[in-house]
Amino acid sequence: MPLNVLSRLDSRKPPVAPQPVPEHAHHAGPSLHGDNAARRQAITELLFFSSVGDLARCQKICATWRIDPMDPSCCDYDKRTPLHLAASEGCYSVAQWLVDECGVEVNPVDRFKRTPLEDAVRGDHGEVVVLLVGQGGKVISKEGNLIDLSDSRLSGNVRIFGELDPEWEIDPKLLQFGDKVGEGEFGIVYRASYLGTPVAVKVLKDNDAVALGDFRRVRKLTSWCR
């Protein structure tokens, strides 16, 4: 019997002492894959809202995700930056914010060998062209060098602060104004009648470059809906 007891006691495993945690384990955290994917999505949204001129959304995304538009990774697959997209769509407020407040590079070159200035010229966005040229904006020559717009083949392709197309001009005396229906950053919208046809009329609060650029962008969008 004593032998049996001793054998049973000897067969018990000694308690295992707790092992020290490796030093690197204290600093180990969750995978960054999820955070990187979310940040990439945020940059995609920044690019989109830059292209539609939503300055408030752009600022909020940058603040929330701590995105610096100057970062070389802040672009799409074709290396088109927020400034490329704002310039190509004539979004003056966003372009001005990117250049003046964010300090982005004025002449980034995308995969198609275009700068934001060339995008603005091809879109006939005169106010944005003036903004970018004033900040040192250039275009790419056939040889692949950055040159002044005035020295390029694109120099005659943009109307800088030009007049509106005649087909868009009407006699203001033929408008009969009604109630105010809305108000935005750049203008006030009224119900009105033009030669018996119900219309909406936007009256600009100012005639500076930002307001005119916004007006021309809206005019271009509405022309696509005709």
The binding site for ATP comprises 202
Which region, left, alpha or beta, applies to residue 185 given φ > 0 means left and ψ of -120 to 50 means alpha?
A: alpha
Judge residue 25's burial from the number of C-beta atoms within 10 Å of its C-beta, 0-12 exposed, 13-18 middle, 19 or more buried. Answer: exposed
Which region, left, alpha or beta, applies to residue 67 given φ > 0 means left and ψ of -120 to 50 means alpha?
A: beta
Give CA 29 to chain center in angstroms.
32
- Which residues make up each annotated binding site? 202
The answer to whether 74 and 46 are in contact (CB under 8 A) is yes
